[in-house]
Amino acid sequence: MFRLFLGTALLTGAFLVTRHADGDDKKPDEPPKFKGMLPANWKQIGLSQAQVQQVYATQAKYNAEIEKLKAKIDALKADEKVELEKILTDDQKKRLRDIKTGDKDKAPDKDKPAVPDKPPEKDKAKDK
């Protein structure tokens, strides 16, 4: 009988300890806490903790919107690149690829005049 009582007490204690460790200590009407960075010099103007949390919440709201717009901009840039490449002929696409990879033998620059090699500089020590 003593073993049964001891086992039940241990199980009850373990249950209570795990329920306490779950972190259910928050008050139900407490707003969530945000983290972020205050704008430059805002720490020096004496904001209350509530104002700081409002700043962080506002930043979180706008940062989410900004990230959506950045993703849309990236998608538009990719679409633009595809459309621009449709304008090029196959030879032009190949030359552009060669230029980008640095293969100068395959991609001569026809628009630039050829620059002759510089004459070797004279050794100033020999002139003295």
Say how far apart CA 45 and CA 50 lie, in whole Å: 14
Cβ(56)–Cβ(34) under 8 Å? yes
| Number of other CB atoms surrounding residue 94 within 10 Å | 13
pLDDT in tens, 14-65: 666 555 555 555 566 666 777 888 999 999 999 999 999 999 999 999 999 9
Cβ(99)–Cβ(107) under 8 Å? yes
Q: Which of 19, 18, 59 is nearest to 35 (CA)?
A: 59
Q: Which of 113, 101, 77 is nearest to 69 (CA)?
A: 77
Instruction: Flag whether the pTM goes above 0.75.
Output: no
Better pLDDT: 71 or 8: 71
pLDDT computed for residue 15 by the predictor: 60
